[in-house]
Amino acid sequence: MRIKQRKFLVILLIVSQLGCMLFGLASASGWLNRVVTEVIASRVEAEGRSLAHELATKAGELDLESVEPGTKDWQRLQDLCASIEIPHDGAACMLRLDTGAIICHSNLEDDPALLGKFPGRALLSTGTTAAPIITISVEASQLGRRLIAGKVEIDGKLQVFTGYTMPQINALLAIYQSDASIDKAVATLVYPVTQVGYVLTAFIIGASSLLTVFLVGRYENSLAEANSSLEREVDERTQSLLKTRNAVIFGLAKLAESRDKDTGAHLERISSYVTVLATELASNNRDITSAYVANLAVASSLHDIGKVGIPDGVLLKPGRLTPTERQAMEMHTTLGSECLAAIQERLGEDDFLQLAQEIAAAHHEQWNGTGYPNKLQGKSIPLAARIVALADVYDALTTRRPYKQPIEHSEAREWIATRYGTHFDPEVVEAFVAKEAEFARIAADYSQSHANENPKVNICSPTTDTLLRAEQNRQQDRIAEPQVGIELSTTVAPV
């Protein structure tokens, strides 16, 4: 069973303590009750023996000749019985040994009908045997024993019985003490102790509860501090690993891009553009999380990693590509995807590598299914590839290339907007339009930072009309891009 909440833990501890205390208290109360009962029972038995012996001695001193009711001797014996106070709601009486009838009784004055009763015939339990009182008395007398003791039920009430045989007057002196009264005496002694136990239990539980709450709080604080420290350390190491991973990935991408000496900070710009687009799309797409955006920004730098496998004669050719060369150039998407898939096979499932593989494979696919390499259409194209596709085209249009000057942001915006739902995902185009000011700022910042990186070429900047004409003649004309490979065709996208 897992305990996840502090409140539940504290309650469980308190309940456990309370259960243990109550169990202990109940056990102690039971033990105390048994011990006190045994002590009082022994005391009652001793008192009964003492009273029986005392009363028998006094009766013997009376020199009784007859114990028949109404005689002077009987009256003296009755007065003797009435004069003895028996504890525990007890009584003293004389019984006939032969019939078990009452001869005299300490309560006879209050209840004269007692003379007509025969309690001597009641069964006496001595612990080892059970027989009528008079029978046990006779047997004990024959064995030379005068005292008998046990428990007997009289008028439905259990009594502690002590008897002393007096065969000279054919009588049995009997002392009765109420068993219920004895139990009451036991309870009178045990109950206060039990109450004190409950009070102490309540006090201990209250004190231990406060201590438990305090200790659990201190432990949680210490644990929270340790967890916080551990989390910071894990975060620092994770960030360090991510920085190392990203640096290696970016270095690898830069190595691939180094074969294109005129693209400037292409990878940095692509990363910035896709971050802007993905952040805007996240407002209406729950699948785009902050982690997704961060991975996308880094993975986008690997979109052209497959160009490392394109021959220099094709990649660096300044002129028009032949159909065969064009086919070889388009292989960079497949090569990049296979390269990243091989890495993923070695490392296992990884969201970042999966994202990078999708981008490398599908960033030249088009919404209407006319892209390459697999002619994917609509949302069958991975979202990451749809985002990178627009960012890649925008960067190709707005940066200097050997064959052209960059076009203005407004022209690039118009060109992209006119391909809403054909070349590009409509939602991605809408995100671009919503954030075009940021695109323009990023392009301007990098343009200023790298103004002296590439020499100017003596080619006029193409206008939108020029681009549209190039589109109409896409099968005949190709504006060469020796390093990036942009072709203004139906796709007008970097190769």
Segment (H or E) for 154: strand 147-154
E strand or H helix that includes residue 474: none
Q: How confident is the model at residue 449 (pLDDT cuts 50, 70, 90)?
A: low
Domains in the chain, CATH or no CATH each: 6-186 (3.30.450.20), 242-335+381-494 (1.10.3210.10)
Q: Which residues pair with 420 in a beta bridge?
A: 424
pLDDT bin (cut points 50, 70, 90) of residue 488 is very low
Mean pLDDT along residues 60-65: 82
Q: What is the structure's pLDDT at 8?
A: 74
Residue 7 pLDDT level (bands cut at 50, 70, 90) = confident
Q: What pLDDT is recorded for position 261?
A: 53
How far is Cα 162 from Cα 164, in angstroms, rounded to an integer? 7
Residue 317 has pLDDT above 70, yes or no: yes
Mean pLDDT of 221-239: 80
Residue for token pair 């045994």:
38
The pLDDT-based confidence of 256 (bands split at 50, 70, 90) is low
Q: Which two tokens stand for residue 381?
A: 């194209």
Rounded CA-CA distance 310/334 in Å is: 11
Mean per-residue pLDDT for 198-226? 82
Would you call 163 helix, strand, or coil by DSSP? Answer: strand
> What is the pLDDT at residue 197?
83
Residue 403's pLDDT is 57
Q: Is the pLDDT of residue 476 over 60?
A: no
H-run or E-run covering 162? strand 157-166
> 160: phi > 0 → left, psi -120 to 50 → alpha, else beta; which?
beta
Spatial distance between the Cα atoms of 158 and 160, rounded to a whole number of angstroms: 7
| pLDDT greater than 90 at residue 409 | yes
**What's residue 466's pLDDT?**
37
Q: What is the pLDDT of residues 191-203, one digit of tens each?
A: 888 888 888 888 8
| Helix (H) or strand (E) segment spanning residue 94 | strand 91-96
- In the prediction, which pLDDT does 486 show? 35
Q: Is 104 exposed, middle or buried (0-12, 13-18, 19+ CB in 10 A)?
A: buried
Per-residue pLDDT tens over the stretch 327-376: 999 999 999 899 888 888 888 888 888 999 999 999 999 999 999 999 99
- Average pLDDT rounded to a whole number, residues 127-142: 88
Number of neighbours of residue 70 by Cβ within 10 angstroms: 7
Least-confidence region, from 205-214, 253-262, 388-397, 405-414: 253-262
Mean pLDDT of 16-20: 84
Query: Rounded to two decimals, what is the model's pTM?
Result: 0.51
User: For residue range 164-177, what is the model confidence (pLDDT) as tens digits?
Assistant: 998 888 889 999 99
**% the chain with pLDDT above 70:** 83
Q: What is the mean pLDDT of the chain?
A: 82
Burial 378-388 (b: 16+ CB within 10 A, else e): eeebbbbbbbb
Angstrom distance (rounded) from CA 322 to CA 79: 146
- pLDDT band at 270; cut points 50, 70, 90: very high
Q: What pLDDT is recorded for position 390?
A: 96
pLDDT at 412 over 90: yes
Q: Which residue in the block uniquely carries the two structure tokens 């916080």? A: 228
Task: Read off φ and ψ for residue 144, nearest 5 degrees.
Answer: 85, 15
